[in-house]
Structure formats: C-alpha cells, structure tokens
Amino acid sequence: MSPTSSDPETRSPFRRVFLAVVGALVLLCGVFLAIAYLQGPKLSDAQIDLVSAIAQPDQQLRLFLNQQIDDIDPDQITVTPATAVSVSTSGDLVAVQFDTPLRYDTEYTVRIDGVRSAALPQSSTVEHRFTTGAPSPLYLDRGTPNDAIVRVGLKGSEREVIFETPGIGAFAATGQVLVVSTVDAEGISRLMLVSLADGAVEELRLPEEGTVTDLAVSDAGPIIAFTFTPSAPVDGEVFGGRRVLAMNLEQGRTLFTVGELGGEVFPISSWRFVPGARSMVVQGTEDTTFLLDAAPEAVPVPIGRFTDILGISRDGSTMSASDALGGVLVSLEDGETERFEPSLIEGSSPFLGEVEVLPDGDVIEKAALQTTEGRFLVVMAVDDGETGRVLYQTPAQAGSIENFRVSPNGQFVAVEVVPVIADAVSDGYLVDQRSTTITTVIVEIETGLIVRSVEGFGLLW
C-alpha cells in the first residue's frame, strides 16, 4: 500500500516545513516591527501647490506619514531658507503653513525633528525638499503698427507676444483670460476678452460711447472693473456721469455700477482693488474713504478721511495713505491707524510718493530726496523702520520714476522709468499717455540687483 497524507511518515516532514515557514514569517514580522520601533514614523507622501505658494500667504505643505503621530510644535520645524510657519497635526497628516509667499525659483527644505508615533515611543526626523517656480510677467509694448502684450521670464532675453492690436490703452489678466481696452483717435474705447488658450476675442458691450481708464482685475476672482467716462458729460451729475463699472465674469456679461445702492450712486473719485479680496478701497467726495465689495448693491464701510491712497499691501491687510499731518498706515481689518514717519535716506528726510508695505513688514517707497544743490532726486527706497536704503535710481540721475509694482511674494519690484527726461517724447495716446522711451526694470528688493529690463510698462506679475 502506498503512503497517504494521513500516514505519520508523510505528516511529519510537512509539519516541519509548515512550522518552519510560520516561524520565518513570525521572525520577519518581528524584524519589521523592530525596524518600525527603532526608526519611528516615515514620510509617505507630500503635497504643495507650487503656483499658489509663490503668490499667496498661508499656503500649506501637507506631509503624510506612514502612521498616526503625536502633535507637532512649531519649534520642531526648520525651514531652509528661513521662513515663518505655523503647523497643525491630524492623525498621520502634518500641515506646515507658510506665513508669507515663498521666494521664486528656490529650493526649500522642511525638516521636522522629534516626530513621534502615537503608539510607539521611538522618534524620527522627517524631511522634504521642493523647488518653487518663477512667474512669467506680462507687459504692454506700444509700437507701430500694433501694440503688443508680451510675456517674459525673470531671466534671459526671450519674449513672447501674446496679443497685438492697435491702440491698447491698458490690460489686465484673470485666469486664462486677458481683459484689454483700446482707444481710438477720438478717445472712444473698446473693451474685449482675449483667451490665452486659443486667442479667441470677445468684445464686451459698454453702456455708451466713452473712455475706459483704471482697468483692473481682482486677483481673488474674475471680477473686472474700470472707470468709465461718457463722451457726452451728463448735466447735474457728480463728475459729469463718470462712474466705476464692474463685471463678474462668472455671472455673465452684465456690467453694474460700483457704489450704486437703492438707485443712488456713491460718487467715486479714485479706487483700488484690495489684493486677495473681492473688495475695493474707494475715495468719495471730501476725501472720505470706504471699503466696498465689488458687487451690486454693496454697502460702503467707512475707513476714514485721507487726501491720498498711496498703496495697499500685497496681503490686503494694510493701506498706506496720507492726510494733512503726513503718512499713515491703516488696517483694513479693524480700521486702526498709526503714523508712518519715513526713516532718513542717506541723511536726508524723504518726501513720499507711493508707498507699499511688504510681506516682511518693511516699506517700499517712491521718495524724493533734496540734494545739496537744491534739486530733488526721485528714488525707489526700502525702509525697515530704522533706516532707508536706496533701491534704485535712474542712471546718471537723468530720468524719472513713474510707477512701481511689487511682486506678490515681495521679492521683486517692477519700476517704470523714463531713462532720460530730456529725450522724452509722448506717444500721443488719449488714455494713459506715456513716453515712447518708457522702460520697466525688475529689481530684486533684497540686493538691489536689476534682473530684467523691458521696453514697455503696465507689468503684471
């Protein structure tokens, strides 16, 4: 009779093999448990929106661990280059939140020491590296026969024409759409949307013939706004019927009057979008200043009375303004104000023009300095609260500084300059008339280095 599986002689080798396999598996599991015990938690995955991280504050790096962990304290985190952060922990997730936008084209290392499992006592160090991108700014180059909206990088000399047409007065951008205003020889404006995806052009209908100025787009949503001046002034109306019009592109193509409430129109002499919000700071008559949502029937919220709005910080928290006594910084969150006394620049007291608070709390300013010869020299400067530092001035002090625009992360400033005033010739446009030699230089704020120069203006980051 042949042996069967029930025979003792057959069962014994099988049992020995089975027990050996089980023992090996138990031993292997023990080894893995020992490794986990000795090594502590490990990083499984990491997520960050690199586009938002260089443009907006409070963006998060989300770190996923291979097990649930104890809460992480901010002092356990080291970020290189140094950046202020806050942190929250939930199960196996650590969310590291950056207080300010990150620098362009920079490798960051985030290290968390003493990461401890919720079940095991052994701790570990978790580390993640990532590299940020860089923006591709747009600017307006007025030429013959067409004006062009051009895209460039922060480095190199390449340029890409995005859209061209005669008579561009101004442009703005939202998502994958350009908003472009043109003006003819009679001062009549057109307004159009241009798709960046396929170049399709859609003309927007204006209420009547007139001129579009102050064109801008909210960076918190597809809301466009502009000041509209009718060709035929309206008798009996403040500013002759000039008003601020807006359109929410998510809600169709209907224009509404900003500041219109109950059929009455709040007169607006000047206005600016608040960065990161769907609201505006507006000035009415007698220098009254309000915060106003860019929506139909919005109720103005009083801020104070100021002679000029000098700038709004890129995080939307602080407005710089002036009144009869000088400069003032205004919180747009609670309306509190504090005096801003500019620091001396090279031993001279500056006369301020436009001012903007940077993400790190320093102030960038367009300032006029009186020279020993009694002339005035206009410079771009940075004020840290103790001293002022000249950031940029035109070569040989022969030119003029027109406007400036700080990058969303506060790393660069685009300065519009006329290099030589004596050679300046107007381009003859009826809207936003500029010198034919106007140039935009992009300056790194920390070092004062010029990283790019383009022949044009209206640069958008």
pLDDT computed for residue 232 by the predictor? 86
Phi/psi of residue 133, nearest 5 degrees: -95, -170
pLDDT computed for residue 67 by the predictor? 94
What's the mean per-residue pLDDT of the chain? Answer: 90
Q: Please give the domain boundaries of the chain with CATH numbers for all domains.
A: 43-131 (2.60.40.1220)
pLDDT computed for residue 1 by the predictor? 47
pTM for this one?
A: 0.85
3-class DSSP state of 36: helix
pLDDT computed for residue 343 by the predictor? 95
Phi/psi of residue 384, nearest 5 degrees: -95, 10
Phi/psi of residue 19, nearest 5 degrees: -65, -35
Q: Report, in this order, helix, strand and coil percent for the chain, each rounded to 5.
A: 10, 50, 40
Which stretches of the chain score pLDDT less than 50? 1-2, 5
pLDDT computed for residue 144 by the predictor? 81
Q: Cα torsion for 324, 326, 332, 337, to the nearest 10°?
A: -90
